[in-house]
Structures are given as C-alpha cells and as structure tokens.
Amino acid sequence: MIDLIQTLGSGILVGLVYALLGLCIVIIFKASEAFNFAIGEFLILGSFLFYVLFFNETLPWHRALPLGVLIFLFFSYVFFFDIRARFVIAIPSGLVAGFLIFCVLFFGLNLSSLVSSSLLRFIIALPMGLLAAGFVGSMVERITIKPLLGRSPISMTIITLGLGFFLRGCIQLIWGSHAYPFFLDLPDITMEMGDFLFLSDPIWAGILSLLTFGLVIVFLFRSRWGLAIRATSEDQAKAMAFGINSRFILLIVWAISALCIAVAGIMISNFGALQVGMGYVGLRAIPVVLIGGMDSIGGALIGGIIVGVCESLAGTYIEPMGLIGFKDVAPYILLLIVLFIRPYGLFGTVRIERV
C-alpha cells in the first residue's frame, strides 16, 4: 500500500509537469488547429533563456551580437507593421530592445551580486526568463506561422516540424550540445514520513506547474484577452467580424504557450541538467493531449496526470517483472486503448462533419 501511494504521488507530481506541456499544445490547437511539434525545442530554448538570467551565463560577442541585431529587427518590424508606430519610434524602440538583449547576453545580469537568496533570485529571474521565452514564442509565430494564416492547419503543423529542427540547430550553435549544471536551490520541502519520501524538486515542479496552469486558466476565462482568445478559438472569421485582431491573438497564444513550456522545461532541467538533447521530453505531451482531448484544457490536466501515473506505475510494478523499457511505452498503450473507446480523447469535442 505504501508503495502504491508513493508511486501514485510521484506520478502525479511528474504528471502535473506533463499537463503543462499538454496545455501548451491544446491552446495552440484551439487557436489555430495546428499541432506544435517544436514543443521540445521550445522547452530547451525557454530553459536556456532562464538559465542565462538565473545563472548569469554570458555569451561571447560573436553570438550575442547577432541575437541583439535579430531582436532589433524584430522589434522594429512589430512596432512598425503590427502596432503601426511611426518609423521614428519603431526604429529607436528596436534599437533599445536589441541593445538591452545584447548587454544581458554579453555582460550577464549578475543577479547573484544583487540578491544573495537563491529563492529571491529565482523569483526575479523566473518572470524575466518566462517573458523572454514568451517573446521568442511570439517572434517565431510572426516569422513562421503568421504567413500561413488562412491556409490549412496541416501546413502550420508541418512548419512546426521544420521549425523544431531549425530551433535545435540555433540552440546548438549558441549554447553547444553539452550539459549545463542546473541547481535552483529552492527551499527544501522534502516530505519524509516513515517509508514515504517525496523529494523537494518534484514537489516544487508540481506546485509551479499547477500554479502556471491555474494562471493560464484565469487569464483565459477571467480577462478580456482571454475572452478574445476563446472567441478566436470558436470561430476565427466571426471573431474578426466582431473586431478582434485574430492575427495578434495568435501571437499572444504562441507567447503564452512558449512561456508555459519554459516553466515545464525549467522544472525538468532542475531534476538533472540542461542539455539540448532533452528535447524528447516534449514528446511526452503527445499522449497527454490525445488521451485528454486535443481541444480540452481540463483534459490536458487529467491527461498529464494519467500519463505521469501510468509511467510511474509501469516503472514500479511492471518493469521489475522483466518488461524493461515498458515505462516509456505504457502511456502509448493506454493512448491506444483510449482512442479505441473515445477517438477524440476523454474530454475532446466530438466533431460531426456532414458530407
């Protein structure tokens, strides 16, 4: 019994992180009907952006400068074409943003010299890192997804496949392929009672994932922007007819998605180390969303927990029986069973198409 509770608890904690990954897929799918296969690369990228700020990791000038220039160009473009700012405002704004990014990357933020407490440093660096991740998400959307608006969602999905390879290459070029140590040193909240043991890092991962999940739900259901996003998800054409800027909504959705993936990435990196090869973790979101339902936010939460628990149970009870590697396969077997019974997932909307 103790074993079972321990296994279920561990599974739920990891499952909450998976749920967050699932949420990122779901919100993009709801807004554009595209599946983001570049989720793994967003996960690594978001973690690296946080890493730069939290661990004061600097880059050599030949890597920091092109990134600064890229930010300058992007900012200027968005200010000029999307926000419709005047040229004399757009260019200086882009320059300031590009210069700031270059300074952060080249000189470092050096938070540790300002704040000694690792928790406080985390509290400062996390929103900054997430903002950076969200910003990159929106940048990617603007460059790769926006030109495809109005085309088949399949085109967008395929673009995300290519995008994944491109992002991976960029990350390798900037940060290399080796592992980076990742120690957040958050307050120890390990729970140990007799034979029960829940480590601090997975508990923090569970708490932060749940918190992020909650914040996204509040944003979607309790804010004007959220309402606009939901309206766009329902029917893009109608939403535009009502004066909602669907193109900008899509940008926000990608930004939120990238931001949430970054939280999951940071938590997973904290279990071990940060490395470009970790991108495979993003694929855990596939069984999560297919089990929960591609367009169900609540389904992502339940799907994540189911996948986490399923992996944990398989690892504790089935693998020791000699079925080595079953832990990785178990969520997919479960997925097959669910799809046989409910082809749209447990909470997915059943679509009836008249032909």
Partner 1 sequence: MKQRAVFVLAFTLSLILLFILPLSAKEIKTLSQFPMSGPVGSLPEFGWGFIDGMNWVNNEGGGVNGKKIKWFLEDFRYNPTVEVANFSKYTAEHPPDELLMATGYITGGLKPLIEKVNKEQKIPWLDGSYSTEIFGAGGGPSKYPYYYSLGATYGDQIKVLLKWIKENHKGKGKPRVAFVYSPTAWGRDGTPEGIAYAKKLGFDVVAEIEYPYTATSATNECMQLRKAKAQYVIYHGYSGATSYTAIFFKTARKIIPKAQLMGTHYTTGRFPILVAQEAFDGYVGVATRPFSDPVPRAKYPKDNAMVKMAHEFAQKNRPEEYKKGLKGGIKDMFLYMEGLTYALMLQKALTDADNAGDLSREGVKKALDNMVWDFKGMFGGKTFSYKSHTIPMLQIFKAKVKMVKMGDKMVPTGGVYPISDWINTDEIQW
Stretch that binds partner 1, among 107-115, 126-134, 140-148, 249-257 (CB under 8 A): 107-115
Interface with partner 1, residue 312, by CB under 8 A: yes
Q: Please say which residue, 126 or 264, places its beta carbon nearer to partner 1.
A: 264
* Cα 65 from Cα 85, distance rounded (Å): 25
Interface with partner 1, residue 92, by CB under 8 A: no
Joined tokens for residue 264: 């999951």
Q: How far is the CB of 109 from partner 1 (least distance, A)?
A: 11
User: Whats the size of the chain, residue-wise?
Assistant: 355
- Residue 274 main-chain phi, psi, to 5 deg: -105, 130
In sequence order, the 6+-apart residues with CB closer than 8 A to the CB of 262 are 42, 43, 45, 46, 47, 49, 50, 129, 130, 133, 134
Q: Please say which residue, 261 or 268, places its beta carbon nearer to partner 1.
A: 268
Interface with partner 1, residue 262, by CB under 8 A: no
Among 124, 128, 158, 199, binds partner 1 (CB under 8 A): 199
DSSP SS3 for 258: helix
Interface with partner 1, residue 124, by CB under 8 A: no
Interface with partner 1, residue 320, by CB under 8 A: yes
Q: Please say which residue, 7 or 296, places its beta carbon nearer to partner 1.
A: 7
Interface with partner 1, residue 269, by CB under 8 A: yes
In sequence order, the 6+-apart residues with CB closer than 8 A to the CB of 145 are 32, 34, 156, 159, 250, 254
Helix, strand, coil shares, percent, the chain, to 5: 75, 5, 20
Q: According to CB under 8 A, which residues from 140 to 159 bind partner 1?
A: none
* Cα 265 from Cα 278, distance rounded (Å): 9
Q: How far is the CB of 116 from partner 1 (least distance, A)?
A: 9
Q: Please say which residue, 242 or 271, places its beta carbon nearer to partner 1.
A: 271
